[in-house]
């Protein structure tokens, strides 16, 4: 499933869809089969796929994409407050507003390239964060964050008489309703919100695949490789980079909107630079410029974040109870810094290892394992095919 | 009147006078060679044609229109392509993709949101790109990554990329540097063939006199930023000024 040759696109898409939809079953043994986490996989997967269209293809490294995520969330929540709890209008507005916002920021930031571009996007995102946090309180509800309230008009919805906050829905299907099934001793949870996010992820992946394979995508790749040559080949690179920037901003808006769909609130912290940095890590960790890499990176980071940040000293003490007391305390005090709130330290170490040993990200790792298996499995008779795969791959994944 | 007219062009780099009152007239459909010792200002002159450099004074007109102050992609879209002294190609992409990009630029203009069809399904463009690779003898290297090509092949690839645009004026900055003898001869044949069949006007900078005298129909000799002679090839060899320029340049 990792060989991204252009020929087996349909197969890749099919596998991607199956794996995504079967997520609740496949990930249950890993302890990740519950809706909240599965939704996060999809949402951050979408965020990273979009980011990769800008960074992976054109090489323009934005440090401000969380701003669009935040804008998407705010727009969606406003739609829930004013119009209806149906998620569709909310998502449409989220994508549109994030698109407009990225058009503005992109138009200005793309006047520079390289590190100056990165700094400009970072500056804009921090400005957006500050605005959301304080100045624009009437729109964003500042520190508290934007939330639903019983007094909201919701002009399209029937009057709410239940006395509790309504929940988000897709034409009546409630997002947070879950069917639980016991299967081989595990509890499988099939959640509407997850399936909605999963379908969005599959669509997002499909669009990204089409962009990757199109002449437009080829131009974006050419920008990364040699912008000068492209200019002297009659191509105006600015609208291309701007289009990529806006598309990736819209993806971020969709992700932000979906966050609000699964949990209808929006806060300024979603726009903070750490959130922008996270999507950069996801993309690079998974494999920038590859189709599957960003999704893989997003899943990887969210999964391990979930595990590591839940571990506390008690868990550590229990795990290492078999060691002599002094040693146990020593080991726990060392590991303590890597878990719980210290999860970012673990992430940092992981990230450094990947960048140093697998510069192409997890996808490169997977490809290496696959080609190793292949050469071991069918030594000799298959060299032509594997050679073809590698050459196409170097053309397809400009990951270094 | 030539298709490319250069009048009194001056350019200095912080005091260094790279071009002084350069005049040049390239006739339509002809191959015009620009020769001269290292540092004479040949590449600088080409830079003034493609929007890379803005001369301090003087005029450059192509097809009756001034090229000065126009962004590179617009100049290219009017029909001016250039092969650079150090190959400018898309090193991370495959050879065929390298040639398809200029084909798309030719067909779709300087910007198009063409994201519906897959690159593979653009049969017309692909066939044209493949034909260009055949023309420069590189069909067998179609799927290689461009960075892995030899220096001579990179240059031939760049030539294929420029020719794929059907330019009206092709600027070649030392097209055979770094090529083996056989490839140099192939290149001479290719350029002569293109010129006779497609009537593309060419301005060629070249150090290799074998190439110059095989192709050029007119020669300009540039030394220390000025054109010292512009004449037919048969009159250039014996010209004492030219000999002096080359000997002087060697010091
Ligand atoms: N961008 C620049 N900034 C400063 N000086 C430059 C620049 N470009 C060229 N020069 C100088 O202008 C002079 C002419 O350079 P140019 O590259 O045009 O020579 P050339 O005739 O192409 O030589 P060669 O045969 O070695 O390619 C040289 O002295 C060079 O150092
Ligand atoms: Mg030169």
Torsions phi, psi for A173 (to 5 deg): -80, 115
Residue A119: CATH number of its domain: 1.10.3470
Architecture of domain B1-79+167-251: 3-Layer(aba) Sandwich (3.40)
Report how far ligand 2's centroid is from the alpha carbon of B173 (Å): 7
Alpha-carbon dihedral A34, A269, A251, A218, rounded to 10 degrees = -120
Provide the edge-to-edge strand list for the sheet that holds B4-13. B16-26, B4-13, B57-62, B65-66
* Closest C-alpha residue for ligand 1 atom 6: B13
Query: Burial level of B7, CB count in 10 A (0-12/13-18/19+)?
Result: middle
Cβ of A155: how many Cβ atoms within 10 Å? 8
| Averaged pLDDT, A200-211 | 96
Q: Write out pLDDT tens, residues A87-108.
A: 999 999 999 999 999 999 999 9
Query: Burial level of B69, CB count in 10 A (0-12/13-18/19+)?
Result: exposed
| Cα–Cα distance for residue pair A222/A21, rounded to 1 Å | 34
| Averaged pLDDT, B85-93 | 94
Residues of chain A found within 8 Å of residue B112, distances taken between Cβ atoms: 215-216
pLDDT, residue A378, reads 67
pLDDT category of residue A198 using cuts at 50, 70 and 90: very high
CA distance B118 to chain A (A): 4
What percentage of chain A carries pLDDT values higher than 70? 92
Q: What tokens does B172 get? A: 């070649």
Q: Does B209 touch chain A (CB under 8 A)?
A: no
| Averaged pLDDT, A267-281 | 89
Domain count, chain A: 1
CA distance A214 to chain B (A): 4
Report how far ligand 1's centroid is from the alpha carbon of B17 (Å): 10
pLDDT category of residue B248 using cuts at 50, 70 and 90: low
Residue with tokens 């040693």: A327
Residue with tokens 């007119």: B218
Query: How does DSSP assign chain B, residue by residue?
Result: --SEEEEEEEEEETTEEEEEEEEEEEPTT-EEEEE-STTSSHHHHHHHHTTS---SEEEEEETTEE-TT--HHHHHHTTEEEE-SS----TTSBHHHHHHHHHHHHHH-S-----SS-GGG-HHHHHHHHHHHHHTT-GGGTTSBGGGS-HHHHHHHHHHHHHTT--SEEEEESTTTT--HHHHHHHHHHHHHHHHHH--EEEEE-S-HHHHHHH-SEEEEEETTEEEEEE-HHHHTT-HHHHHHHHHHH-
| Averaged pLDDT, B18-23 | 93
| Averaged pLDDT, B36-59 | 93
Higher pLDDT, A393 or B106: B106
Mean pLDDT, rounded, of chain B? 91
pLDDT category of residue A395 using cuts at 50, 70 and 90: very low
SS3 state at A261: helix
Q: Write out pLDDT tens, residues A147-157.
A: 888 787 877 87
Q: Is the pLDDT of residue A388 over 60?
A: no
pLDDT, residue B144, reads 94
Range of A253's domain?
A: 2-271
Q: Which segments of chain B belong to CATH 3.40.50.300? A: 1-79+167-251
| Averaged pLDDT, A312-321 | 76
pLDDT, residue A96, reads 97
| Cα–Cα distance for residue pair B175/B156, rounded to 1 Å | 8
Mean pLDDT, rounded, of chain A? 85
Sequence-distant (≥ 6) Cβ neighbours of residue B64 within 8 angstroms: none
pLDDT category of residue A386 using cuts at 50, 70 and 90: very low
Lowest mean pLDDT among A157-161, A330-334, B219-223, B241-245: A157-161
Strands B201-205, B31-35: pairing is parallel
Q: Write out pLDDT tens, residues A35-85.
A: 888 999 999 999 999 999 999 999 999 999 999 999 999 999 999 988 888
Higher pLDDT, B164 or A312: B164
| Cα–Cα distance for residue pair A92/A80, rounded to 1 Å | 12
| Cα–Cα distance for residue pair A210/A205, rounded to 1 Å | 9
Of B90, B105, B117, the CB nearest to A214: B117
pLDDT, residue A340, reads 76
* Residue A211 forms part of a structural domain: yes
Q: Minimal CA–CA distance to B211: which of B175, B251, B248?
A: B175
Query: Burial level of A51, CB count in 10 A (0-12/13-18/19+)?
Result: buried
| Cα–Cα distance for residue pair A53/A254, rounded to 1 Å | 15
pLDDT, residue A25, reads 83
* Residue A8 forms part of a structural domain: yes
| Averaged pLDDT, A230-259 | 96
Complex ipTM > 0.90: yes
| Cα–Cα distance for residue pair A253/A271, rounded to 1 Å | 11
pLDDT, residue A385, reads 43
Q: Is the pLDDT of residue A183 over 80?
A: no
- pTM, entire model: 0.90
Maximum distance among all alpha carbons in chain B? 62
Sequence-distant (≥ 6) Cβ neighbours of residue A371 within 8 angstroms: A386, A389, A390
pLDDT, residue A379, reads 60
Provide the chain A residues 178-217 that lie in CB contact (below 8 A) with chain B: 210-211, 213-217
Residue with tokens 């996060």: A40
pLDDT, residue A396, reads 40
Name residue B13's beta-bridge partners: B16
Sequence-distant (≥ 6) Cβ neighbours of residue A222 within 8 angstroms: A229, A230, A235, B90, B93, B97, B101
């Amino acid at each position: 499933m990792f060989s991204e040759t252009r020929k087996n696109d349909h197969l890749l898409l099919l596998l991607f869809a199956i794996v995504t939809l079967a997520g609740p079953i496949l990930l249950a043994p890993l302890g990740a089969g519950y809706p909240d986490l599965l939704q996060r996989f999809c949402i951050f997967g979408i965020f990273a796929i979009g980011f990769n269209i800008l960074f992976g293809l054109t090489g323009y490294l934005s440090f401000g994409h969380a701003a669009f995520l935040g804008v998407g969330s705010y727009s969606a929540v406003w739609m829930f407050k004013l119009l209806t709890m149906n998620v569709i209008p909310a998502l449409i507005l989220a994508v549109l507003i994030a698109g407009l916002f990225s058009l503005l920021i992109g138009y200005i930031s793309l006047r520079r390239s390289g590190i100056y571009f990165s700094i400009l996007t970072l500056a804009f995102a921090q400005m957006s964060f500050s605005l959301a946090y304080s100045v624009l309180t009437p729109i964003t509800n500042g520190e508290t964050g934007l939330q639903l309230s019983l007094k909201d008009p919701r002009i399209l919805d029937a009057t709410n008489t239940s006395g509790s906050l309504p929940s988000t829905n897709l034409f009546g299907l409630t997002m947070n309703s879950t069917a639980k099934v016991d299967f081989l001793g595990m509890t499988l949870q099939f959640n509407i919100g997850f399936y909605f996010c999963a379908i969005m992820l599959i669509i997002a992946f499909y669009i990204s695949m089409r962009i990757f394979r199109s002449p437009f995508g080829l131009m974006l790749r050419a920008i990364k490789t040699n912008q000068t040559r492209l200019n002297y080949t009659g191509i105006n690179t600015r609208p291309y980079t701007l289009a990529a920037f806006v598309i990736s901003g819209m993806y971020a808006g969709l992700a932000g909107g979906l966050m609000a769909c699964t949990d209808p609130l929006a806060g300024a912290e979603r726009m903070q630079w750490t959130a922008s940095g996270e999507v950069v890590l996801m993309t690079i960790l998974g494999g920038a410029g590859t189709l599957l890499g960003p999704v893989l990176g997003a899943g990887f980071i969210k999964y391990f974040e979930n595990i590591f940040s839940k571990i506390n000293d008690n868990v550590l003490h229990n795990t290492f109870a078999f060691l002599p007391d002094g040693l146990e305390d020593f080991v726990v005090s060392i590991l303590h810094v890597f878990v719980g709130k210290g999860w970012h330290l673990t992430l940092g170490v992981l990230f450094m290892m990947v960048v140093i040993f697998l510069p192409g990200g997890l996808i490169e790792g997977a490809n290496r394992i696959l080609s190793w298996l292949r050469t071991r499995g069918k030594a000799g008779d298959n060299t032509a095919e594997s050679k073809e795969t590698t050459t196409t791959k170097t053309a397809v994944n400009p990951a270094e | 009147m030539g298709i490319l007219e250069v009048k009194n062009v001056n350019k200095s780099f912080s005091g260094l006078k790279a071009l002084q009152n350069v005049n040049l007239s390239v006739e339509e459909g002809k191959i015009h060679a620009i020769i001269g010792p290292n540092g004479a200002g040949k590449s600088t002159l080409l830079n003034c044609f493609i929007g890379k450099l803005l001369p301090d004074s003087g005029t450059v007109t192509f097809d009756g229109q001034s090229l000065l102050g126009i962004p590179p992609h617009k100049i290219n879209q009017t029909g001016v392509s250039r092969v650079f002294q150090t190959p400018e190609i898309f090193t991370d992409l495959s050879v065929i993709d390298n040639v398809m990009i200029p084909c798309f630029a030719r067909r779709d203009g300087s910007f198009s949101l063409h994201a519906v069809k897959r690159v593979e399904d653009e049969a017309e463009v692909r066939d044209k790109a493949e034909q260009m690779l055949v023309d420069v003898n590189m069909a067998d290297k179609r799927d290689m990554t461009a960075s892995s090509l030899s220096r001579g092949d990179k240059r031939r690839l760049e030539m294929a990329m420029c020719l794929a645009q059907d330019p009206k004026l092709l600027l070649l900055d030392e097209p055979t540097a770094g090529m083996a003898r056989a490839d140099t001869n192939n290149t001479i044949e290719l350029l002569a063939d293109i010129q006779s069949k497609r009537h593309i006007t060419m301005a060629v900078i070249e150090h290799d006199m074998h190439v110059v005298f095989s192709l050029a129909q007119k020669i300009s000799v540039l030394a220390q930023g000025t054109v010292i002679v512009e004449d037919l090839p048969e009159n250039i060899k014996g010209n004492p000024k030219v000999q002096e320029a080359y000997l002087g340049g060697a010091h």
